[in-house]
Amino acid sequence: MKFNVDVVRIRENTIQLNGWAIGRTPDAEITYAVEDASHHPIRFQYVSTRRDDVSQIYYGKTIDREFGFDIQFPYERGKDYYLVIRGEKRRIRVKYNEALIKKRGSVAHKRLKKIQDLMNMETVHVCMEFWRENGLKALILKSKHKLQGIDNDYDYGEWYELTKPSAEELERQRADRLPDMPKFSVIIPAYKTPERYLKEMLDSIAAQTYANWEVCVVDGSPAGESVERVLRRYAERDRRFKYAVLGENKGIAGNTNAAMDMADGDYIVLADHDDALTPDALYECAKCICAHPDCDVLYSDEDKLDMDGGALFDPHFKPDFNPDLLCSVNYICHLFVVSHDLAARVGGFRHEFDGAQDYDFIFRCTEGAARICHIPKVLYHWRCHKDSTASNPESKLYAFEAGARAIMAHYERAGIEAERVEKGVDYGIYHTVYRIAGSPLVSVIIPNKDHRQDLDTCIRAILERATYRNMEFIIVENNSAEPETFSYYDRIQKERENIRVVTWEREFNYSAINNFGVTFARGEYLLFLNNDTELIAENFVEEMLGLCQRPDVGAVGARLLYQDDTIQHAGVVVGFGGIAGHTFIGLHQAENSYFHRAMSTQDYSAVTAACMMTKKSLFEEAGGFTEELAVAFNDIDYCMKVRRAGKLVAYNPYALLYHYESKSRGLENTPEKVARFNREIRIFAERWPEILRDGDPYYNPNLTLRKSNFALRDLKKEGIGEPYRLEV
């Protein structure tokens, strides 16, 4: 017999225990009892719960049995109690008292508990598979990152308790009279819904601090399986609850459309029948609409709620609207709110996208929106298994294919030329292969000072292995001292007619050197490339060019790896380290990043010019690189100018190269270099004060600026909800 008590809570004079127990076989009988210190039985409340995650881990499949328990019993301070679990001729007693419960809540115990949670056969299988695919070195690195995660200052449950609105704040919201009071229609399609979960969703709406709402529930369950009894009780108690029983299943699209037909609110709020809203959800939406009256689409952050409803986990702190990320994954998901007028114009849900009907609907709403707002707060709890894994990923294929069709339909409406949408790093993560118009000349600009071997490796890898052929290379010679370097220049230019060396005769200035190189470029597109890079993906130019050809995109960056296959660059966040920094530094390329962000094409505020493509016309229009920024932040500054021109800066993880980094230039290890670096910090801060003050729109203020792994913001050092501050 195996068991685990996942959650222990004291609520007033009650102890609540959530956990699970199983036998050697799925049909083993398990019973529970509660005893006092003298081992006399005491009365307790018991509810069995499904734990499909447990059955999948220990039995290898989902079994239609309830292996979980939710047990509550009264207690008195200072007294001992025992949970007794019996099964397979065994009896296990687990002692509980206030001191033990507090001890189990300590940091050390939680750390130990997290380590114990990792020690199961599923973890062993995952590790072995990872080892086979990526090698022992990568497995050791991944294990190190897992253990570092265990040592974080907070787990999410603690963090949420510290940051959620206080009781006083919720009361203030209830009394607040906003300048406008839009009416929200919460749309809920129901189908064979467990009554308990539906009640929790409806109760979460009834508990809203904002009062101008209605609920529209349509039940498409088969005859005899509806939840009409529950719905009628809520409707009789509060006229804001409206419902209809269809007596048949019209599918998720048809059931949702039927619920939308009942709505008469100003805004439609999409919700699932077994999830929950936070008590401030609709208030925050109303406040956002009052601040931005032209907003007709808005969404929030979300987290997950375990099947017992006792634990929150896996928060998704999202960026502001990110169109290329949306084409990689339905990151918006919950909570999604759209004006009634816009929902009517786009036409509701479509049956042909069943499996990804919400994805298709979100695309059409965002395409037609006057303004899209993101509320960087968790307003929605999405119920699912904490440790569940898909035993058969192929079962997701129909939903994946529907999602791919939704993306292609979006491209067709937007006039974007795409060849296909294919599976990315996992089902639900998409990779778009764009159609390249013609065969435009790409001018590759490479500054170089000696380091001829690195330069030769960089160039020859492209010449011999890259699949895109129409390129010219402009090597900007910058004060080389070795005679062999100039001999190499002569040799490579004679060998290849599409290589040209031009000479910069002044002091080192990265911006000026690249601007000088561009004056010799004949290409329609510029590819800025460091001399210490080497291609991995042979089609990296096509991957970048396909994005860069889009009229709405101004610059494109690549995924760059160190020599040990860990990430050197996967996009730039303004604010990391005080000014700007790369995301996911040091993460092995085979590891999962935060919601697969490292492996998702998306928009960022900036990318590194170690490998960056841009349109030559836009580069000239923007004035090139800012020459006041001789060494640092010039590429970030250029990307900011691209965004100021109304264009996107996109990151493409499928354009993959090695970047051996820092071979070409020394460290900031002299007083002169330190002074220059600090001067360039001040220049950048003066040029772009708004983003440093308000935060990077492609990052989330709930995440830390002290690490590159999208960890929770450190409440002790960074606070929460505090504006970004730059000290120069």
**Predicted pLDDT at 669:** 55
User: In 623-664, which ranges are continuous DSSP H helix?
Assistant: 634-644
Q: Is residue 715 situated within a structural domain?
A: no
422: its two tokens: 């294919």
**CA dist., res. 142 & res. 120, Å (int):** 17
Q: Would you say residue 129 has pLDDT above 80?
A: no
- Beta-bridged to residue 526, according to DSSP, are 443, 614
**Separation between Cα atoms, residue 232 and residue 548, nearest integer Å:** 55
d(C-alpha 422, C-alpha 568), whole Å: 26
The torsion of the CA quartet 517, 522, 526, 532, rounded to 10 degrees, works out to -50
Tokens (6 digits) for 373: 């707002």
Q: Both 221 and 355 in a single domain?
A: yes
The answer on 451 and 418 residing in a single domain is no
pLDDT at position 107, please?
42
> Does 546 lie in the same domain as 459?
yes
Across the chain, mean pLDDT equals 88
Is 131 within the bounds of a domain?
no
Question: Which has the closest alpha carbon to 333: 306, 305, 362, 354?
Answer: 362
Summarize pLDDT for 364-419 with one digit per residue, the tens: 999 999 999 999 999 999 987 543 333 344 556 888 999 999 999 999 999 999 99
- Overall average pLDDT of the 422-450 stretch: 95
Boundary of a domain, candidates 74, 104, 134 = 104
51: confidence class by pLDDT, cuts 50, 70, 90 = confident
What is the structure's pLDDT at 662?
52
Q: Are residues 363 and 400 in the same domain?
A: no
Quick check: 503 pLDDT over 90? Answer: yes
Q: Tokens for 687, please give them.
A: 């040029």
Is residue 364 located within the same domain as residue 397?
A: no
Residue ranges making up the domain that contains 26: 2-104
pLDDT(469) > 70 = yes
For residue 628 the two structure tokens come to 């006041």
The band of 251, judged by pLDDT with boundaries at 50, 70 and 90, is confident
Query: How far apart, in whole angstroms, are the C-alpha atoms of residue 221 and residue 516?
Result: 69
pLDDT at 663 over 50: no
For 85-94, 512-521, 534-543, which range has the lowest pLDDT when averaged over its residues? 85-94
Q: How far apart are CA 537 and CA 131, in angstroms?
A: 23
List the strands of the sheet with 2-11, edge to edge: 2-11, 14-22, 68-74, 45-49
Query: Rounded CA gap, 163 and 168, in Å?
Result: 13
What separation in angstroms does the CA of 111 have from each of 116, 155, 421, 487? 9, 10, 42, 60
Residue 400 shares a structural domain with residue 479: no
**H/E stretch holding 411:** helix 397-414
What's the average model confidence in pLDDT over 500-521?
96
Please write the tens of the pLDDT for every residue from 174-231: 999 999 999 999 999 998 888 889 999 999 999 999 999 999 999 998 887 888 999 9
397, 419, 435 - which closes a domain? 435
* pTM: predicted TM-score of the whole model, two decimal places: 0.80
H/E run at residue 23:
none
Strand partners, 582: 572
Domains held by the chain: number? 4
Which pLDDT band, with edges at 50, 70 and 90, does 653 fall under? Answer: very high
Place 2 in a pLDDT band, splitting at 50, 70 and 90: confident
Exposed, middle or buried: residue 335 (CB in 10 Å: 0-12, 13-18, 19+)?
buried
Q: Are 284 and 377 in contact (CB under 8 A)?
A: yes
Residues 467, 568: one domain? Answer: yes
Q: Domain end: 388, 421, 454, which one?
A: 388
pLDDT for res 111: 46
Looking at the domain assignment, is residue 173 inside a domain? no
Report, as an integer, the average pLDDT of 598-605: 96
- Mean pLDDT, rounded, for 425-441: 94
Confidence class for position 54, pLDDT limits 50, 70, 90: confident
In our burial notation (b when 16+ CB lie closer than 10 A, e otherwise), range 514-546 reads bbbbbeebebbbbbbbbbbbbbbbebbbbbbbb
d(CA 492, CA 62): 63
C-alpha dihedral, 546 to 549 to 551 to 552, nearest 10°? 50
Same domain, residue pair 97 and 229: no
Residue 89: count of CB within 10 angstroms of its CB? 6
Residues 469 and 560 in one domain: yes
Look at residue 115 and tell me if it is in a domain: no
CATH number at 23 reads 2.60.40.10
Instruction: Tell me if 141 is assigned to some domain.
Output: no
Question: Quick one: average pLDDT of 240-262?
Answer: 92
Write down the pLDDT at residue 77.
75
CB 445 within 8 A of CB 530: no
The alpha carbon of 72 is separated from its chain's Cα centroid by a whole number of angstroms, namely: 36
**Mean pLDDT highest for which of 245-254, 605-614, 681-690, 711-720?**
605-614
Decide: residue 64, CB within 10 A, 0-12 exposed, 13-18 middle, 19+ buried.
Answer: exposed
Residue 712 lies in a domain: no
Is 393 within a domain?
A: yes
Query: If you average pLDDT over residues 13-18, what whole number do you get?
Result: 82
Same domain, 462 and 407: no
- Do both 360 and 212 map to the same domain? yes
- 3-class SS of residue 536: coil
- Residue 639 confidence (pLDDT): 98
Residues 423 and 471 reside in one and the same domain:
no
CA angle (344 as vertex; 342, 346 as ends), nearest 5: 70
pLDDT of res. 362 = 98
Domain annotation covers residue 359: yes
Name the residue among 607, 631, 608 with its Cα closest to residue 680.
631
The CATH number of residue 690's host domain is 3.90.550.10
Alpha-carbon distance values, 220 to 214, 228, 278, 284, 357 (Å): 19, 11, 26, 31, 17
The tokens for 541 are 């130019």
